[in-house]
Chain A
Amino acid sequence: MNQSDGHFDEMTGLLYLEGQLDPGRASEVSAHLGSCAACSEIVHALEAEGVWLREALAAEDESIPASVIAAPERGTTHWGWIAAFGLGTGGAYTLWSGFVEPWYAQASQAGFTQGNLMTMLFFTGAFWKGWDAMRSLTEFMAVATLGTVAIWLLRKQWQRFTAIAFVMGALAVALAMPQQVAAADVEHGKPSYTLPAGQEVKTDLIVTADRTRIDGDVDGDLIAFSSSLIVNGHVKGDVIAFGAEVRLNGPVDGNVRVWGQSLNLDSTVGKNVMALTGASEFDEKSTVGGTLMMFSGNTELNGKIAGDILAYVGDLNIGGSLGHDVTVRAGRINIGPNAEIVGQTKYTGDHEPEVSPTAKLGSPIQFTLLKRGPTYSRPRYYWHQVMFWGASFVLGLVILLIAPGFFFDTEQMCKKVAPAIGFGALFLFATPVAALIVCATIVGLSVGIPVILFYGVALYAAKIFVGAWLGEKLLGAGVGIGPALGRLAIGLAILRILHMLPYAGFWFGLLTVMWGLGAMVLALHRRMSPAVAAAA
């Protein structure tokens, strides 16, 4: 900056006006302008010239050509759609043939012989309430479909928050409907709830409490969110329980579905049992009229089970009577002296089965030794990798179709490598801790469990966004779903190959999870605070 005769030059005046001087220099100029009429006049003239230039340049006194006004022709992305369709079909096939079908076949072998998965879900599940409920569900689905179509048609006229309000409203209605249909009795423990002996609830009973004790009878379903649930009374419907400790001492006429730390069954269950638990114990007096499906830690089966058993468990001790086939994947299996298995027993595990000589088996145990760790020499290993790639790709496809904005935002956020990995590491460890703390509170169980479920989905989905980002780095950016899927396919394939590397693969996987998780957090944060994003 030049200064002559105590006055500032024109350049300094311009830089001052345009905010390009450092604060100290700007203060000096400002002070000088306050006392120097000549310099002040020059600066005012420059300022007026700037305004004049802006107005002259912004003037819209020239017509816009028709060729510019007309919207451009539709772009051609046929190759992208063809590639997307091919990859999508391939991914869906690998997912189906490698994952869903074997599981379904195993379920069928274990006696879950209904026509299809949907049948299993609706007709043998705890949620089946009869044809009236099915009709209500059908009506609701029809209305929801019509609503979705309406939103799609009106999407351009509606603001985002209006759409969100509509969706949230619909969700609220959806959540409210089953309660109206079932007319359930909802109880909140303060902090515990007890249904005294001799009392009977004439409808479904939904309980949220720290500790729940059912000594009376329930003429309907019992749905409990409780850290401890003890049922001594008679439940004429199903028992659906989310809790740390579940103990069933009274008879249940319907199904039992348990998600919790432990399940202890010392009574009769009329239908099927499904348990996702840390440990399970079926006492000698226990009886299950239908099938048993378990995803559990250590398990003791000392009672009677009439139907088939499908179990993925830690150590399994069988001391009771099993009326049908048993398909088990376990660390160890021990079949005691009083055990009886009428059907076939298929066991996959780390150790040879231990069978008492006095145990009664319908047929010899079919044992398959489980090999841990990657086996690079087996083609099956590579097939599994293809299958995992396909599963990830299909999930990516679903996210891209359902929430393209979120998909692309998260992909973009992967560019912020350090913040994404940092936030990812934080949320990777903090989320389960927070969810467990929430679960420990009385009302928190219904919040904590969905949080853990979403957390699991997010961990799995993390690599999708990193893969999409990686694909963009390699293939370049392109607009539309087709190119995005091509990028996703390539990126996921590379990540899968990196994950296959011995030793380093695990760390690559962990880094990918943190990176993608952090990008999701950043993208969600941006979406929730658009003002901040706009100002950035």
Chain B
Amino acid sequence: MDRQKTTGTMSDADLAEVLSQVRAGDTDAWGDLYRQYAPAIFRFCRRLLPAREDAEDATTEIFMKVRQKLGTYDSSRPFTAWLYKVASNHCWDTLRRRRIRQDLETGDLDTLPLEHPDPSQLERLQAEHTSKEVRTGLARLPDRARMALVLRYYADMSYEEIADTLGVRRAFVGVLLLRARHQLRDALSESSDVNALRASAGGAP
């Protein structure tokens, strides 16, 4: 999936025109740019930040930053990559500032051996959980694991971009993603178990 799918269907030529107009101070063009990308950026924030209101505020703040920093955007690179870079930096700063969850940085968790996956268990997880449940499971992950998954599988960032955003070595990104997947599987398995327990408790006479 490329970034285009997550941010609408404005063509490259149209986007270049709109960006030129925005740089020239055209407020209508700014409105067009905002309407085109704000929903995708809101969803991006929604997947990273704990509350809907946080995502709303973050979207507004990100676009304020975009407007201020548009002069630094190198137009030879894709605009969406730059936009998500601004957004991810903002969200990561927000999370770090709030310390909503204390991540284990590159400490013990990252060196723990991973259990070898069972393909049939993976298939079962995918079959049992809806998109909404996956996002709920994602919200329970440590910030950095969640950031890694969203940056990679929603914003379609490269390993280099993820490493740069999260302040880790590029070689560590793969480890981060794999551990994040494991953590998500665990979170979803736990919720499945809890649901099964509830079902069995509710079904018992």
* Chain A residues engaging chain B, CB cutoff 8 angstroms: 9-11, 14-15, 18, 20, 41-42, 44-46, 48-50, 52-62, 64-65, 67-69, 71-72, 74-75, 77, 80, 156, 159-160, 400, 404-405, 408-409, 412, 415, 472, 476-484, 526, 530, 533-534, 536
Cross-chain pairs A/B with CB under 8 angstroms, 28 sampled: A11-B178, A45-B123, A46-B122, A53-B181, A54-B1, A56-B130, A57-B131, A57-B138, A57-B153, A58-B6, A60-B43, A61-B132, A68-B59, A69-B38, A72-B34, A75-B27, A80-B25, A156-B28, A159-B13, A405-B20, A412-B76, A477-B70, A478-B71, A479-B22, A480-B23, A480-B24, A480-B25, A534-B12
Chain B positions 155-179 with a Cβ under 8 Å from a chain A Cβ: 159, 174-175, 177-178
- B75 pairs with A11, CB closer than 8 A: no
- A65 pairs with B134, CB closer than 8 A: no
Q: How far is the CA of A46 from the CA of B116 in the complex (A)?
A: 12
Q: How far is the CA of A58 from the CA of B43 in the complex (A)?
A: 8
Chain B positions 76-119 with a Cβ under 8 Å from a chain A Cβ: 76-78, 114, 116-117, 119
Closest chain-A Cβ to B21's Cβ sits at a distance in Å of: 7
Contacts of A42 in B (CB 8 A): 117, 119
Q: In the A-B complex, list the 10 residue pairs whose CB atoms are closest, starting with the nearest.
A: A477-B71, A480-B25, A405-B20, A404-B24, A56-B134, A71-B31, A45-B119, A59-B131, A56-B131, A57-B154
Q: How far is the CA of A109 from the CA of B72 in the complex (A)?
A: 51
Closest chain-B Cβ to A406's Cβ sits at a distance in Å of: 8
B139 within 8 A of A: no
- B47 pairs with A57, CB closer than 8 A: yes
Q: How far is the CA of A199 from the CA of B1 in the complex (A)?
A: 75
Contacts of B184 in A (CB 8 A): 53
- A75 pairs with B30, CB closer than 8 A: yes
- A526 pairs with B42, CB closer than 8 A: no
Q: How far is the CA of A57 from the CA of B43 in the complex (A)?
A: 9
Q: How far is the CA of A67 from the CA of B61 in the complex (A)?
A: 12
Interface string of B6-26 (1 = CB under 8 A from A): 100000111011001111110
- B5 pairs with A10, CB closer than 8 A: no
B198 within 8 A of A: no
* Known A45-B122, A72-B31; 17 more pairs at CB < 8 Å: A10-B117, A15-B174, A45-B119, A48-B122, A53-B181, A57-B153, A57-B154, A62-B43, A64-B39, A77-B25, A159-B13, A400-B24, A405-B16, A412-B74, A477-B70, A484-B23, A536-B76
Closest chain-A Cβ to B180's Cβ sits at a distance in Å of: 10
Contacts of B119 in A (CB 8 A): 41-42, 44-45
- A53 pairs with B153, CB closer than 8 A: yes
Q: How far is the CA of A55 from the CA of B5 in the complex (A)?
A: 11
Q: How far is the CA of A170 from the CA of B122 in the complex (A)?
A: 64
- B131 pairs with A55, CB closer than 8 A: yes
B135 within 8 A of A: yes
Cross-chain pair count, CB within 8 angstroms: 167
Closest chain-B Cβ to A61's Cβ sits at a distance in Å of: 6
Task: Name which residue of chain B comes closest to A11, CB basis.
Answer: B178
- B131 pairs with A479, CB closer than 8 A: no
Closest chain-B Cβ to A69's Cβ sits at a distance in Å of: 7
- B75 pairs with A477, CB closer than 8 A: no
- B63 pairs with A160, CB closer than 8 A: no
- A530 pairs with B16, CB closer than 8 A: yes
Contacts of B59 in A (CB 8 A): 68
Closest chain-A Cβ to B191's Cβ sits at a distance in Å of: 14
A56-B69 contact in complex given A11-B174, A71-B35, C-beta closer than 8 Å: no
B195 within 8 A of A: no
- A75 pairs with B67, CB closer than 8 A: yes
- A14 pairs with B178, CB closer than 8 A: yes
Q: How far is the CA of A75 from the CA of B1 in the complex (A)?
A: 34
B126 within 8 A of A: yes
Contacts of B17 in A (CB 8 A): 160, 405
- B76 pairs with A408, CB closer than 8 A: no
Closest chain-A Cβ to B164's Cβ sits at a distance in Å of: 16
Contacts of A57 in B (CB 8 A): 47, 131, 134-135, 138, 149-150, 153-154
Contacts of A41 in B (CB 8 A): 119
Contacts of A20 in B (CB 8 A): 159, 174
- A412 pairs with B175, CB closer than 8 A: no
